[in-house]
């Protein structure tokens, strides 16, 4: 499995809460309705950054997307529908220039939740 991890800041002009709400509702629904994309996703996790001291967080979210392999990643993000709808929707809540993405292979060494 390949995991894509992306860290991002919200677009200027919206609050942290507005960013999270849009991502959780509108953008997540768009992802799930994009068959070319969603059929290749094995797991989708949204992580909402919280402030430790009550100040505005420097980052707003981290998304984790799991795929079977790199060809599935390429196919998911390569479809015309995904580019036209899902990727284009990012501008409504994400500062595109802030995005940092990495591909990883996850290795759990300890998990007390299981």
- Beta-carbon neighbour count of residue 14 at 10 Å? 17
Q: Over the chain, what is the mean pLDDT?
A: 95
pLDDT tens by residue, 17-46: 999 999 999 999 999 999 999 999 999 999
Q: List, in order of start, the domains of the chain with CATH numbers.
A: 2-104 (3.30.70.100)
Residue 17's Cβ-count burial label (10 Å; 0-12, 13-18, 19+) is: exposed
Query: What global pTM score does this model have?
Result: 0.90
For 54: left if phi > 0, alpha if psi spans -120 to 50, otherwise beta; the answer is: left
């Amino acid at each position: 499995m390949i995991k894509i991890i992306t860290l991002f800041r919200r677009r200027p002009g919206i609050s942290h809460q507005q960013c999270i709400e849009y991502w959780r509702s509108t953008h997540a629904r768009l992802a799930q309705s994009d068959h070319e994309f969603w059929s290749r996703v094995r797991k989708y996790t949204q992580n909402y950054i919280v402030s430790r001291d009550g100040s505005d967080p420097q980052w707003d979210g981290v998304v984790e997307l799991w795929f079977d392999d790199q060809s599935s990643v390429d196919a998911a993000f390569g479809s015309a529908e995904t580019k036209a709808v899902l990727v284009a929707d990012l501008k409504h809540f994400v500062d595109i220039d802030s995005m940092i993405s990495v591909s990883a292979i996850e290795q759990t060494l300890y998990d007390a939740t299981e």
